[in-house]
Amino acid sequence: MTQPDCDTVVRVDNNGITTLTLNRPDQFNALSEALLNRLDQMLTEIGEDDSIRVVIIKANGRAFCVGHDLKEMRENTEKAYLKSLFSKAGEIMVRIKNLPQPVIASVHAVAAAGGCQLVAACDLAVASEKAGFAVSGIKLGLFCSTPAVALSRNISQKRAMEMLLTGDFIDAKTALDYGLVNQVVPTASLDDATLALAEKIASKPPAAVRMGKALFYQQISQPLDAAYQQASETISCNMLLDETLEGVDAFIEKRAPEWQR
Same domain, 127 and 190: yes
pLDDT at 195 over 70: yes
Same domain, 189 and 223: no
Same domain, 29 and 81: yes
Across the chain, what does the average pLDDT equal? 93
Q: What is the CA radius of gyration of the chain?
A: 19
The C-alpha atoms of residue 212 and residue 190 are separated, in whole angstroms, by 26
Q: Tell me whether residue 260 is in a domain.
A: no
Question: Apex CA 141: angle with CA 138 and CA 142, to 5°?
Answer: 65
pLDDT digits (tens, 9 = 90+) for 20-55: 999 999 999 999 999 999 999 999 999 999 999 999
Q: Tell me whether residue 59 is in a domain.
A: yes
CB 182 within 8 A of CB 125: yes
Task: Show the DSSP H helices in the chain as ranges.
Answer: 33-47, 70-74, 79-98, 114-121, 145-151, 157-166, 172-178, 190-202, 206-220, 224-239, 242-252
> For position 75, which CATH number holds?
3.90.226.10
Burial class (CB in 10 A: 0-12, 13-18, 19+), 112: buried
Same domain, 32 and 84: yes
Better-scored residue on pLDDT, 88 or 259: 88
CB 204 within 8 A of CB 213: no
| Number of domains forming the structure of the chain | 2
Q: Is the pTM of this model over 0.75?
A: yes
Encoded amino acid at 7, one letter: D
CA 180 vs. chain centroid, Å, equals: 11
The whole domain housing 220 covers 206-252
pLDDT at 2: 47
Going across the sheet that includes 124-128, the strands are: 9-14, 17-22, 54-59, 103-107, 124-128, 183-185
The C-alpha atoms of residue 222 and residue 76 are separated, in whole angstroms, by 39
Q: Give SS3 for 11.
A: strand
